[in-house]
Amino acid sequence: MRQDRTTLTVRTNRQGLFELTNEIKAWVRDTGIENGVLTVFCRHTSASLMIQENADPDVRYDIETFFKQLVREDPSLYTHTNEGPDDMPGHIRSVLTDVSLSIPLTGGALALGTWQGLFLYEHRARDHDRQVVLQVMGD
Protein backbone atom coordinates (compact mmCIF):
# COMPACT_ATOMS: atom_id res chain seq x y z
CA MET A 1 0.00 0.00 0.00
CA ARG A 2 1.18 3.49 -0.88
CA GLN A 3 0.13 6.87 0.36
CA ASP A 4 0.66 10.49 -0.51
CA ARG A 5 -0.45 13.79 0.97
CA THR A 6 -0.48 17.47 0.22
CA THR A 7 -2.08 20.65 1.48
CA LEU A 8 -4.07 22.95 -0.78
CA THR A 9 -4.34 26.62 0.11
CA VAL A 10 -7.67 28.04 -0.98
CA ARG A 11 -8.00 31.83 -1.08
CA THR A 12 -11.55 32.92 -0.29
CA ASN A 13 -12.91 36.45 -0.57
CA ARG A 14 -16.53 35.97 0.48
CA GLN A 15 -18.97 33.54 2.01
CA GLY A 16 -19.93 30.73 -0.30
CA LEU A 17 -18.97 27.53 -2.05
CA PHE A 18 -15.59 27.30 -3.80
CA GLU A 19 -15.18 24.30 -6.09
CA LEU A 20 -12.02 22.22 -5.67
CA THR A 21 -12.93 19.22 -7.86
CA ASN A 22 -10.53 19.72 -10.77
CA GLU A 23 -7.58 20.64 -8.57
CA ILE A 24 -8.11 17.57 -6.38
CA LYS A 25 -8.63 15.26 -9.37
CA ALA A 26 -5.36 16.47 -10.93
CA TRP A 27 -3.42 15.90 -7.71
CA VAL A 28 -4.85 12.38 -7.28
CA ARG A 29 -3.97 11.55 -10.89
CA ASP A 30 -0.40 12.75 -10.33
CA THR A 31 0.04 10.43 -7.33
CA GLY A 32 -0.28 7.39 -9.59
CA ILE A 33 -2.42 5.59 -7.01
CA GLU A 34 -5.17 3.68 -8.83
CA ASN A 35 -7.41 2.21 -6.13
CA GLY A 36 -7.91 3.29 -2.54
CA VAL A 37 -9.41 6.14 -0.60
CA LEU A 38 -8.91 9.90 -0.57
CA THR A 39 -9.41 11.80 2.65
CA VAL A 40 -10.07 15.54 2.35
CA PHE A 41 -9.78 17.53 5.60
CA CYS A 42 -10.48 21.23 6.25
CA ARG A 43 -8.18 22.67 8.96
CA HIS A 44 -10.63 25.36 10.11
CA THR A 45 -13.64 25.81 12.41
CA SER A 46 -15.50 28.39 10.34
CA ALA A 47 -15.19 26.72 6.94
CA SER A 48 -16.19 23.23 5.87
CA LEU A 49 -16.35 20.76 3.01
CA MET A 50 -19.21 19.53 0.91
CA ILE A 51 -19.91 17.12 -1.92
CA GLN A 52 -22.66 18.71 -3.95
CA GLU A 53 -23.98 19.20 -7.46
CA ASN A 54 -21.55 21.15 -9.61
CA ALA A 55 -23.61 21.51 -12.80
CA ASP A 56 -26.26 24.10 -11.92
CA PRO A 57 -25.05 27.17 -9.96
CA ASP A 58 -28.60 27.63 -8.65
CA VAL A 59 -27.99 24.67 -6.32
CA ARG A 60 -25.07 26.50 -4.69
CA TYR A 61 -27.12 29.69 -4.42
CA ASP A 62 -30.00 27.82 -2.78
CA ILE A 63 -27.69 26.06 -0.30
CA GLU A 64 -26.03 29.34 0.69
CA THR A 65 -29.44 31.04 1.04
CA PHE A 66 -30.78 28.16 3.14
CA PHE A 67 -27.85 28.27 5.58
CA LYS A 68 -28.11 32.07 5.91
CA GLN A 69 -31.75 31.63 6.92
CA LEU A 70 -31.09 28.63 9.17
CA VAL A 71 -28.14 30.19 11.04
CA ARG A 72 -28.67 33.92 11.23
CA GLU A 73 -25.86 36.43 11.63
CA ASP A 74 -27.46 38.22 14.56
CA PRO A 75 -24.99 38.96 17.40
CA SER A 76 -27.86 39.12 19.91
CA LEU A 77 -28.24 35.34 19.49
CA TYR A 78 -24.69 34.41 20.55
CA THR A 79 -22.23 34.82 23.40
CA HIS A 80 -19.11 34.45 21.19
CA THR A 81 -19.20 37.70 19.20
CA ASN A 82 -15.71 39.21 19.51
CA GLU A 83 -14.63 38.09 16.01
CA GLY A 84 -17.58 39.64 14.18
CA PRO A 85 -21.19 38.84 13.43
CA ASP A 86 -20.35 36.03 10.99
CA ASP A 87 -17.94 34.10 13.24
CA MET A 88 -20.25 32.15 15.54
CA PRO A 89 -22.70 31.44 12.70
CA GLY A 90 -19.66 30.15 10.77
CA HIS A 91 -18.85 27.72 13.58
CA ILE A 92 -22.45 26.49 13.66
CA ARG A 93 -22.61 26.05 9.88
CA SER A 94 -19.37 24.09 10.05
CA VAL A 95 -20.90 21.75 12.65
CA LEU A 96 -23.92 21.19 10.37
CA THR A 97 -21.77 20.29 7.36
CA ASP A 98 -18.45 18.37 7.28
CA VAL A 99 -14.78 19.16 7.83
CA SER A 100 -13.65 15.74 6.57
CA LEU A 101 -14.69 13.69 3.54
CA SER A 102 -13.69 10.22 2.33
CA ILE A 103 -13.97 9.46 -1.37
CA PRO A 104 -13.23 6.07 -2.95
CA LEU A 105 -10.59 6.00 -5.67
CA THR A 106 -11.21 3.56 -8.53
CA GLY A 107 -9.03 3.22 -11.61
CA GLY A 108 -7.10 6.35 -10.70
CA ALA A 109 -10.26 8.49 -10.53
CA LEU A 110 -12.49 9.77 -7.76
CA ALA A 111 -15.66 7.66 -7.61
CA LEU A 112 -17.89 10.74 -7.71
CA GLY A 113 -21.32 10.70 -9.33
CA THR A 114 -21.97 12.47 -12.63
CA TRP A 115 -23.02 15.78 -11.08
CA GLN A 116 -20.97 15.66 -7.87
CA GLY A 117 -18.19 18.11 -7.09
CA LEU A 118 -16.02 18.87 -4.06
CA PHE A 119 -16.41 22.27 -2.46
CA LEU A 120 -14.88 24.31 0.31
CA TYR A 121 -17.73 26.12 2.05
CA GLU A 122 -16.49 29.45 3.40
CA HIS A 123 -18.68 30.69 6.24
CA ARG A 124 -16.93 34.04 6.87
CA ALA A 125 -17.33 37.24 4.85
CA ARG A 126 -13.72 38.45 4.87
CA ASP A 127 -10.67 37.16 2.97
CA HIS A 128 -9.08 33.93 4.20
CA ASP A 129 -6.39 31.49 3.16
CA ARG A 130 -7.97 28.12 3.97
CA GLN A 131 -5.92 24.93 4.19
CA VAL A 132 -7.34 21.66 2.91
CA VAL A 133 -5.28 18.53 3.57
CA LEU A 134 -5.48 15.71 1.02
CA GLN A 135 -4.28 12.21 1.81
CA VAL A 136 -4.67 9.26 -0.52
CA MET A 137 -3.95 5.65 0.44
CA GLY A 138 -4.06 2.68 -1.90
CA ASP A 139 -2.33 0.73 -4.63
Provide DSSP, 72-121: ---GGG-S--TT-TTHHHHHHHHHHSBSEEEEEEETTEE---TTEEEEEE
SS3 89: helix
A 10 A CB-CB count for 14 gives 12
DSSP β-bridge partners for residue 17: 121
Largest CA distance in the chain: 52
Confirm whether pTM is higher than 0.85.
Answer: yes
- Under the banding of pLDDT at 50, 70 and 90, the label for residue 8 is very high
Beta bridge partners of 8: 132
- Mean pLDDT to the nearest integer, 60-64: 97
pLDDT band at residue 2, thresholds of 50, 70 and 90? very high
Distance CA 47, CA 129 (A): 11
State the pLDDT confidence band at 34, using cuts at 50, 70 and 90.
very high
Q: What is the DSSP letter of 63?
A: H
